[in-house]
Amino acid sequence: GADIVTISALSDNRLPDDLDGLYIGGGFPEVFAAELEANVSLREEIRQAGENGLPIYAECGGLMYLGRSICTAAQTYDMVGLLPLDTQMQGKPQGHGYTIMEAAPEQPWFSVKTEIRGHEFHNSKVINVGANLKFGLIVKRGHGIDGHHDGISYKNVFAAYNHIHALGCPEWAEGMMKLAALNRQS
């Protein structure tokens, strides 16, 4: 029942009109950090949309993009600033392999204790975490953000290092659709 519209954080200067939800996939934003930083108008629109309750689901590189900055060995780049955290690039993987997570009560995307399987591969770590940050996942297998938690939950935003196995956990799409429908009504 959803219409999918693609956007590029590198070349689109604004979000599409009538957007009911946003999925930001993984990748390697540190490779394009200068270009992502330069797209100030889109970063600000995403930040404001998240603050206003737009459902946003972000995985790995999406988590990094939604934070305040990405710090490489050479430079620090400003990102969206929606989440109170920075990411610091590391010389070796910080989390790598298959994951099993359990949904915590601190998020609106999954029923509590839902088992979420996926994978992670990240060469960054989350630093400078703001106070009162809520985690939506408990790590059963893997590393996540701190070895015990993943899935930062803020308003209708859910951002994790974990790349969900969508067929193994259809609840994520159901959660997205539910939150998008509620967002449209408000």
Tokens found for residue 51: 């603050």
Return d(Cα 106, Cα 151) in angstroms, integer.
10
pLDDT of residue 103: 94
Query: Which residue in 9, 49, 58, 60 is the catalytic one?
Result: 60
Name, in order, each residue with C-beta under 8 angstroms of 182's C-beta and a sequence gap of 6 or more: none
Using a 10 angstrom Cβ sphere, with 0-12 exposed, 13-18 middle and 19 or more buried, the burial of residue 53 is: middle
Q: Per-10-residue mean pLDDT for the chain, 186 residues long?
A: 88 92 91 96 97 94 96 95 94 88 89 92 88 91 93 93 87 86 79
Report the C-alpha dihedral over residues 7, 8, 9, 14, rounded to 10 degrees: -50
pLDDT of residue 154: 93
Residue type, 145: I
pLDDT of residue 168: 83
pLDDT of residue 120: 92
Return d(Cα 62, Cα 82) in angstroms, integer.
11
Return d(Cα 88, Cα 152) in angstroms, integer.
17
Can 169 be counted among the known catalytic residues? no
Q: Looking at the whole model, is its pTM more than 0.75?
A: yes
